[in-house]
């Protein structure tokens, strides 16, 4: 199966600060994009909302880069 890759090149630019990147939405691997799971209840069948994507069927990843001074002693 083909996979799309996102590459983040990490290099300081200007003043250092905290940066955050949000990936493009990807299909939720837990529910396979269905957004939930069929369950049997006393009142018949129902759909239980996927806890990972909260029913959206997609997930995104936030990547935070927190620049710090290099204070390690030599």
Residue 46 engages Zn ion in binding (rule: CB under 5 A): no
Handedness of CA 63, 23, 19, 52 (dihedral sign): negative
x-or-dash pattern for Zn ion, window 9-28, by CB under 5 A?
-------------------x
Burial of 3: CB neighbours in 10 Å, binned 0-12, 13-18, 19+: exposed
C-alpha to C-alpha distance for 65 and 72, rounded to whole angstroms = 19
The nearer residue to Zn ion, 60 or 65, going by C-beta atoms, is 60
Could you tell me the smallest distance in angstroms from the CB atom of residue 72 to Zn ion? 41
Residue 30 engages Zn ion in binding (rule: CB under 5 A): yes
Binding site for Zn ion (CB under 5 A): 28, 30-31, 50, 52-53
């Amino acid at each position: 199966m083909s996979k799309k890759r996102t590459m983040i090149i990490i290099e300081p630019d200007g003043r250092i600060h905290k940066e955050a990147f949000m990936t493009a939405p990807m299909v939720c691997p837990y529910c396979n994009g269905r957004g939930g799971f069929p369950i049997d209840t006393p009142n018949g069948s129902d759909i239980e909302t996927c806890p990972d994507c909260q029913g959206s069927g997609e997930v995104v990843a936030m990547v935070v880069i927190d620049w710090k001074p290099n204070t390690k002693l030599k």
